[in-house]
């Protein structure tokens, strides 16, 4: 709304802050970018996000909000133009599922998702029905759903491939590729995850196209394989070329150097 005061506490190389920038830009909202020094966090960040002390934080008319996906949902509710989440409740829930899947993918220790991977048409409903089925079984045995699952996320699989070597790296890279392949099934037959226009899921996962490629380049592995995930590969390229998306991207050379430094720090001391 005109006259609103909107501030984004972020960091240039943060994919989570980038998500929020994309949402604000797609909505055409004027905002003030506040660059944080993550090694020396400002009193404002500590005051606005005392729980996690992380960016991004959106401050709307003095009210702070943390967690990128939560922030994007808030933006979508407050500024109705160019909707990001679908209107239909089921479609909306599916969009949330995929966004969560990218950040936070669950993999059962035994074979629930393995079964899902083997399905020919590896769609959302297949994944969901396996998870729900598993959840019901756990409930009937009075077990904790969460304790029965090992948490392996898309992002940590990429991070492990980025920081480990040898067998461990290969295993993580395979896992990251499997996760990305599963994510691809959410795209089936659409230009964007949001359909004809960019939506919530595109914003949530679009950064992986760039970050995973750079991480792969630094350690000499290919995480986004055009042959095995042609739709996702084409989507990453298409999405990152959309002018509003592209203009928010950090300079690629600077990001590459930054990630090289990050890699050095994370692997220091490991042989
Ligand atoms: N789940 C959070 C992740 C935010 C996050 O990891 N922020 C990082 C920068 S990319 C940060 O603030 N790191 C500094 C720290 O943790 O001390 C979100 O989606 O907003």
Answer yes or no: is pLDDT of 106 > 60.
Answer: no
- Pocket-testing residue among 52, 71, 203, 266, ligand 1, by greatest number of atoms within 8 A of Cβ: 52
Higher-confidence residue: 109 or 26?
26
**How much distance in Å is there from the Cα of 37 to the middle of ligand 1?**
12
Q: Is the CB of 68 under 6 A from ligand 1?
A: yes
Q: Give me the pLDDT at residue 136, please.
A: 52
For the entire predicted model, the pTM comes to: 0.82
Higher-confidence residue: 109 or 35?
35
Residue 265's pLDDT band (cuts 50, 70, 90): confident
Residue 144's pLDDT band (cuts 50, 70, 90): very low
Answer yes or no: is pLDDT of 133 > 70.
Answer: no
Higher-confidence residue: 74 or 186?
74
Q: Give me the pLDDT at residue 4, please.
A: 83
pLDDT digits (tens, 9 = 90+) for 35-59: 999 989 999 999 999 998 999 999 9
Q: Is the CB of 16 under 6 A from ligand 1?
A: yes
Q: Is the CB of 49 under 6 A from ligand 1?
A: no
Residue 148's pLDDT band (cuts 50, 70, 90): very low
- Pocket-testing residue among 22, 55, 159, 211, ligand 1, by greatest number of atoms within 8 A of Cβ: 55
Where is 21: in which H helix or E strand?
Answer: helix 15-27
**Which atom of ligand 1 has the smallest separation from the CA of 36?**
12
Residue 245's pLDDT band (cuts 50, 70, 90): very high
Q: Are strands 6-10 and 32-35 parallel, antiparallel or unpaired?
A: parallel
SS3 assignment, position 88: coil
Query: Whose CA is closest to 56, among 90, 22, 86, 87?
Result: 22
Q: Give me the pLDDT at residue 23, please.
A: 98
Q: Give me the pLDDT at residue 112, please.
A: 37
Average pLDDT over residues 229-255: 95
Protein residue whose Cα sits closest to atom 12 of ligand 1: 54
Q: Is the CB of 153 under 6 A from ligand 1?
A: no
Q: Give me the pLDDT at residue 264, please.
A: 87
Protein residue whose Cα sits closest to atom 6 of ligand 1: 54
Higher-confidence residue: 147 or 221?
221
d(CA 187, CA 195): 8
Q: Give me the pLDDT at residue 122, please.
A: 43
Residue pair 84/72 in contact by the 8 Å Cβ criterion: yes
Q: Is the CB of 11 under 6 A from ligand 1?
A: yes
Answer yes or no: is pLDDT of 138 > 70.
Answer: no
Answer yes or no: is pLDDT of 240 > 90.
Answer: yes
- What are the structural domains of the chain? 6-78 (3.40.30.10), 96-103+154-267 (1.20.1050.10), 106-151 (no CATH)
CA-based torsion, 174, 167, 219, 68: positive or negative: positive
Q: Give me the pLDDT at residue 262, please.
A: 84
pLDDT digits (tens, 9 = 90+) for 182-234: 889 888 889 999 999 999 999 999 999 999 999 999 999 999 988 999 999 99
**Which atom of ligand 1 has the smallest separation from the CA of 14?**
10
Residue pair 258/13 in contact by the 8 Å Cβ criterion: yes
165-169, 189-193, 243-247, 264-268, range with the lowest pLDDT: 264-268
253 Cβ neighbours under 8 A, 6+ residues apart: none
Q: Report how many helices (DSSP H) and strands (DSSP E) the chain contains, helices first.
A: 13, 6
**How much distance in Å is there from the Cα of 230 to the middle of ligand 1?**
30
**Which atom of ligand 1 has the smallest separation from the CA of 69?**
19
Answer yes or no: is pLDDT of 68 > 90.
Answer: yes
């Amino acid at each position: 709304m005109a006259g609103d005061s909107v501030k984004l506490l972020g960091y240039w190389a943060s994919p989570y802050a980038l998500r929020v920038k994309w949402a604000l830009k797609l909505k055409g909202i004027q905002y003030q970018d506040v660059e944080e020094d993550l090694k020396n966090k400002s009193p404002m960040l500590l005051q606005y996000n005392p729980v996690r002390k992380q960016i991004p934080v959106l401050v709307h008319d003095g009210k702070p909000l943390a967690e990128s996906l939560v922030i994007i949902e808030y933006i979508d509710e407050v500024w109705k133009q160019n909707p990001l989440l679908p209107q239909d409740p089921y479609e909306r829930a599916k969009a949330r599922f995929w966004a969560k899947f990218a950040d936070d993918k669950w993999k059962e220790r035994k074979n629930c998702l393995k079964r899902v991977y083997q399905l020919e048409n590896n769609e959302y409903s297949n994944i969901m029905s396996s998870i729900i089925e598993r959840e019901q079984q756990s409930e009937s045995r009075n077990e904790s759903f969460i304790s029965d699952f090992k948490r392996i996320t898309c992002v940590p699989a990429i991070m492990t491939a980025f920081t480990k070597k040898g067998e461990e790296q290969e295993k993580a890279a395979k896992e990251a590729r499997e996760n990305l392949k599963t994510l691809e099934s959410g795209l089936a037959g659409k230009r964007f995850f949001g359909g004809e226009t960019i939506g919530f899921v595109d914003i949530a996962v679009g950064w992986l196209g760039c970050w995973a490629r750079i991480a792969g380049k630094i350690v000499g592995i290919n995480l986004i394989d055009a042959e095995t995930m042609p739709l996702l590969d084409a989507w990453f390229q298409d999405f990152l070329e959309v002018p509003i998306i592209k203009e928010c991207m950090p300079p690629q050379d600077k990001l590459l150097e930054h990630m090289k430094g990050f890699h050095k720090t994370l692997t220091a001391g490991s042989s």
